[in-house]
Structure 1
Amino acid sequence: MKREPKWLSKDLVIAMHRELIREYGGLYAIRDATLLESALAKPQQKFAYEESATLFDLAASLGYGLAKNHPFGDGNKRIAFAAMGVFLIINGHEINATEVDAVITMLGVADGSIGEKQLADWLRENHQKVK
């Protein structure tokens, strides 16, 4: 990957989380701002230090970090999936998967049966270019 991708800001992710909680229910709370910042920095570190990192590796790094760090009181899997989706969209791709497949994938991330590399592979297999 040569050109630096567009990144999601902390404020945007917080606003997205608030909207997801409003729409689908749950507790709105930032449980640990440091863990949120860590999850947002993770793909940027990968971009800086892994020359072979693809956009899908970076998106997976973001989603995996949010899902596993649990920075919010509730809705961590939801924001992880939404953040990956928005990250890909602003960088020219979008997730193209069924809701059931997406839910199963994110549950696998949360329970540890799907690792970050597997998540990147899933994104690579379930995307399309934005038209």
Structure 2
Amino acid sequence: MDRRWLTIAMAMAFHRESIARFGGSDGVRDAGLLESALARPRNRAAYEEDVSFFALAAEYCLGIVRNHPFVDGNKRSGILAGAVFLTLNGYDFEPEETAIVHMILALAAGEVDGATLARWFEESSRPRSNV
């Protein structure tokens, strides 16, 4: 299965855009932690052939939220990482705004696991039509 992966440049771009739009301090706190977060989905795909796009989106989100690679905006950047990955791979991610807030706060508090996050990404997405 061909997948389009996020790059460090992509993550930096959507992080900067989020900071400019919603506020906070720009910058990377630890480049190694960002690289680690972005490697999680590829590693999982290497060892789990039939892993879903939604599980991989969850891995991106989990990696950024838990690693805290950015100075600020890690929760926003985590959600954006999952959303951008799904978009690159043919899905529209369209959750309610209140659902995003609830999910990301629960994730940051350790109340949500990867499987639950993956289900939420799936339930909040639909295949993009090629119209």
Q: Shared topology, TM-score over 0.5?
A: yes
The one-letter code matched in structure 2 to 1:30 is V
Which residue in the other structure is 2:110 paired with? 112
Which residue in the other structure is 1:63 paired with? 61
Which residue in the other structure is 1:102 paired with? 100
The one-letter code matched in structure 2 to 1:123 is F
Q: Deviations over 1:6-42 (max 9, x none)?
A: 0011011011101110111001120110000000000
Q: TM-score under structure 1 normalisation?
A: 0.95
Displacement of 1:104 in angstroms is: 0.5
Which residue in the other structure is 2:70 paired with? 72
Structure 2 segments unaligned to the other structure (5+ residues): none
Do residues 53 (structure 1) and 51 (structure 2) align? Answer: yes
The partner residue of 1:27 within 21, 25, 28 is: 25
Aligned-residue RMSD, C-alpha:
0.8
Structure 1 segments unaligned to the other structure (5+ residues): none
Do residues 122 (structure 1) and 95 (structure 2) align? Answer: no
The one-letter code matched in structure 2 to 1:13 is A
Displacement of 1:52 in angstroms is: 2.9
Which SS does the other structure have where 1:128 is aligned?
strand
Which SS does the other structure have where 1:94 is aligned?
strand
Q: Distance in 1 between matches of 2:7 and 2:18?
A: 17
Q: Distance in 1 between matches of 2:2 and 2:66?
A: 25
The one-letter code matched in structure 1 to 2:114 is E
Displacement of 1:83 in angstroms is: 1.1
Which residue in the other structure is 1:18 paired with? 16
Q: TM-score under structure 2 normalisation?
A: 0.95
Corresponding residue pairs, total: 129
Displacement of 1:4 in angstroms is: 2.8
Q: Distance in 2 between matches of 1:4 and 1:116?
A: 22
Stretch deviating more after TM superposition (46-55 or 67-76): 46-55
The one-letter code matched in structure 2 to 1:101 is A
